[in-house]
Amino acid sequence: MSTYAFWNNKGGVGKSFLCFIAACEYSYKNPDSDVYVIDLCPQANVSEMILGGQDRGGLALREQLGNPGFRKSVGGYIEQRLNSPFQPSKDAYKYVVNAHDHNSKVPKNLGLICGDNLVEVLGEAVRQTSQLSVPFDAWKKVILWIEDLKNEIEENSLGDTAFFIDCNPSFAVYTQLAIAASDYLVVPFTADESSRRGMENIIALLYGQGDDYLANFSRLSFFKKAKEEGIGLPKLHTFISNKSILFDGKPSKASKAATSSIIKTVEGVRSKHRSIFAYPGIAARERFIDFPDYHAAAIVSSLTGTPMHKLKAGPKLINGHRIQINPSPLQKYNSALSKLVEEL
């Protein structure tokens, strides 16, 4: 069982879409595995895509959240755990949605634990529960709620399992639940200075490393507590330069220049702290993947819930607008996606 969290401490980097297409592609290429997406972003964007896109997916998601007796979502699971915070649930598999039942375009071996805006509402209750003085390990038991969910799901799966977790950009308590349940961190970013700062925050928050000023504060928070409680944190796995502008099939000089400071930041950390990387013997720059900026394909794929292996070139009618998908850029985008999935 491997678990990949898609996270950057910065919004607008395309992580939910990348999580969607990566999970679908992984499911497609590993038909004998059971693949699950856990949506821990209250906006539930990846859930909507998996369930069919803007219209069909939105309706299906409302159906999962609309039953007052049983909220079939990660919010429903967290609500259940608040009622029994220190004993793992024995029936957590009931929160899994068979995605193919709602969207025939996604692989049959893809399961989903739906995102839910209730998670945001429950966040403070979760935090307060984790700070109870009794039992003495209250924080550890709470922070492992999503790990408990994974274990229960795995026990009910027939084959090998893989989990993809879509995280909210903020480092809220529900993001901490996701991080504590993950083996590897996939970090999407855009080529700008705010992404570099987001990268610095990841390294400080999770590993207590990086800039001395940031690290001093981070050692008082999640990093310190996780270390004290013996909770393993995910290794830095892959960095995705999303929406990269290509020229003759390679990143343009402008994209390279903007990305170089991010690579320099990551390589600076690796030179001192290799143990936090999934591949400590490989140069950090080798773990960067360029995803070309192909806005048309992303729009069609996300709004219709179509995985990239199902998306064909040609004209598409979306919300009354004609969108052209051209073969060459589609092939380049799929090549980048294949490279990512092969590394997982």
Once rounded to an integer, what is the mean pLDDT over residues 56-75?
Answer: 94
Once rounded to an integer, what is the mean pLDDT over residues 130-142?
Answer: 94
Where does residue 296 rank: exposed (0-12), middle (13-18), buried (19+ CB within 10 A)?
middle
Label each residue of 180-217 as H, E or C.
Answer: HCCCEEEEEECCCHHHHHHHHHHHHHHHCCCCHHHHHH
pLDDT number for residue 52: 97
pLDDT averaged over every residue in the chain: 91
Torsion of CA 38, 316, 58, 155, to 10 degrees: -30
Percent of the chain clearing pLDDT 90 (strictly above) = 71
More confident residue, 254 or 18: 18
pLDDT number for residue 281: 92
Q: Which CATH number fits domain 2-295: 3.20.20.330, 3.40.50.300, 3.40.50.2300, 3.30.360.10?
A: 3.40.50.300
Q: Tell me, what DSSP letter sits at residue 7?
A: -
pLDDT number for residue 22: 98
Q: Tell me, what DSSP letter sits at residue 2?
A: E
Question: pLDDT per residue over 204-256, tens digit each?
Answer: 889 888 777 766 675 567 888 999 999 999 999 999 998 654 445 555 566 67
Q: Which of 84, 74, 68, 98 is nearest to 149 (CA)?
A: 74
Once rounded to an integer, what is the mean pLDDT over residues 264-281?
Answer: 92
pLDDT number for residue 218: 59
More confident residue, 151 or 318: 151
User: How far is residue 297's CA from residue 334's CA, in Å, rounded to a whole number?
Assistant: 10
Sole residue written with tokens 């992303």: 298
CB atoms within 10 A of CB 217: 12
